[in-house]
Amino acid sequence: MFAAMKTRLGLALLSGVLLVAGGATAAQAKGPQLKVSVVHATKAQGKKDPALKRVQKKLEKTFAGYKSFKQLAKHKFTLKKGGPATLKLPNKQTAKFNYKGKAGKNHKVAVTIGKNTFNLRIPERRLFFQAGLKHDKGILVLALYLK
């Protein structure tokens, strides 16, 4: 009888250890939340987009040659190691965000658009821009924010 109780206790402890280890693996595989605003920047004068109120000045400073900024889309993803988050862009291309892990205060994200892959180190809780794709007499700016 004592041996049977000992075996059951051992199995219960092993199940608990496996459950905790499995939970840790799932938590490790889950990455940060990525917010992406797809912005169209043009050199022509235009009205300020109220959706960009919080980042308007940073856009104007970073992209000084452009006069008009309009948010075309807004997306939110939870990144996971080994699985890309995919986003259809207005210029008919696809952007894939592949989470590679964390390096210090930065997150490593590989962004693939068409045949080009950009290995980025994006700071946590700071706005980061990836830009340059031509679109409708201007460029597309991907405003990225990780938390």
Between CA 31 and CA 27 the distance in angstroms is: 8
Angle at 113 between CA 41 and CA 31, to 5 degrees: 100
| Vertex 121 angle, CA 55 and 132, to 5° | 55
Bridge partners, 56 (sequence order) = none
* Amino acid sitting at position 78: T
Q: Averaged over 41-52, what is the pLDDT? A: 95
pLDDT in tens, 77-130: 999 987 899 999 999 999 999 999 999 989 999 999 999 999 999 999 999 999
Residue 43 CB coordination number (10 Å): 13
The whole-model pTM stands at: 0.78
* Token digits of residue 85: 């988050």
